[in-house]
Amino acid sequence: MIRRLGLLLVCGAAPFAGAATAEINGARYVEPTTRYEHGVLGDAVEYGALELSFDNGASKRFTLPHSRVFEDTAPRLIRDPQGNRLVLVVESSLREGARLALYDGRGLFAATPYVGRPHRWLAPVGAADLDGDGYLELAYIDRPHLAKRLRVWRLTGKSLDHVADQSGLTNHRIGWDHIPGGIRRCGEVPEMVTATADWSVIAISTLREGRITTRAIGPYRDPDSLNAALDCP
């Protein structure tokens, strides 16, 4: 499987004038690099730049410094509760490991802290208003092969503030070029779909009043069983 293709492969050469006020309608990683020797996604290639396209035909490329890479499967187009389009990515520092970051048409918009050590990664679960408070929350598994901890952060202005953690969950194995599971919307609030840390059970987690609660809904068999759990029963 070829990983890390953009959600919409648009890379026109139109000038950037006005793109800051236009809506993002595509994103992809470009400028492949081997400067970060980790290979958690199955190969030694990461990416040095993010290219955005806009609904007015413009495009814009954001190039990372040599000390960082995009260590990710693909950029994700999301909306905050106010309808603003953002791009969710995983950036990794060669010295401090991974962080979750948001980009808009002007560049880096907000980011979580780095994990803190090189060759330490995180696997996104997704983004949504997880508790109905009118703010966007971001969820990821911190070190899905080691710590196996679900973390939730809330976007307030241009700041990502930590909300809650839940241990004993994961969504990625070393070498996979994909991240199964994600966020489903089956009831009053969105639910996060992952596996338990031992890969035995499909886990559904929700955020309520600043706390994460988790329940099992069935056995984990393979990545497709996590993806199938995104469909409402």
Q: For 140-155, what is the mean pLDDT?
A: 98
**Rounded to an integer, what distance in angstroms lies between the CA atom of residue 37 and that of residue 71?**
11
Q: Does residue 144 contact residue 120 with C-beta atoms inside 8 Å?
A: no
Kindly state the helix (H) or strand (E) to which residue 63 belongs, with its residue range.
Answer: strand 59-63
165 and 228 housed in the same domain: yes
133 and 232 housed in the same domain: yes
Q: Does residue 63 contact residue 70 with C-beta atoms inside 8 Å?
A: no
Q: Does residue 129 contact residue 107 with C-beta atoms inside 8 Å?
A: no
215 and 106 housed in the same domain: no
157 and 101 housed in the same domain: no
153 and 215 housed in the same domain: yes
Q: Tell me: the pLDDT tens digits for 177-204?
A: 999 999 999 988 999 999 999 999 999 9
Q: Tell me: the pLDDT tens digits for 99-119?
A: 999 999 999 999 999 999 999
Q: Tell me: the pLDDT tens digits for 120-147?
A: 999 999 999 999 999 999 999 999 999 9
129 and 230 housed in the same domain: yes
Give me the pLDDT at residue 19, please. Answer: 47
Domain that holds residue 218: 121-233
Give the residue from 116, 147, 180 where a domain finishes.
116
Q: Tell me: the pLDDT tens digits for 162-173?
A: 999 999 999 999
90 and 176 housed in the same domain: no
pLDDT at 6 over 90: no
Q: Residue 145: which of 188, 106, 199, 94 has the closest Cα?
A: 199
Q: Residue 73: which of 176, 142, 195 has the closest Cα?
A: 176
Give the residue from 86, 116, 146 where a domain finishes.
116
141 and 177 housed in the same domain: yes
Give me the pLDDT at residue 144, please. Answer: 98
172 and 227 housed in the same domain: yes
135 and 224 housed in the same domain: yes
Buried b (16+ CB within 10 A) or exposed e, 36-63: bebebbeeeebbbbbbbbbeeebbbebe
CB atoms within 10 A of CB 201: 17
Q: Tell me: the pLDDT tens digits for 65-80?
A: 999 999 999 999 999 8
Percentage of the residues of the chain whose pLDDT score is greater than 90 = 87
91 and 140 housed in the same domain: no
| Token reading at 153 | 């952060």
Domain count, the chain: 2
Give the residue from 62, 96, 116 where a domain finishes.
116
2 and 106 housed in the same domain: yes
Kindly state the helix (H) or strand (E) to which residue 195 belongs, with its residue range.
Answer: strand 191-196
Q: For 42-63, what is the mean pLDDT?
A: 97
Average pLDDT of the chain?
A: 91
Gyration radius (Cα) of the chain, Å: 17
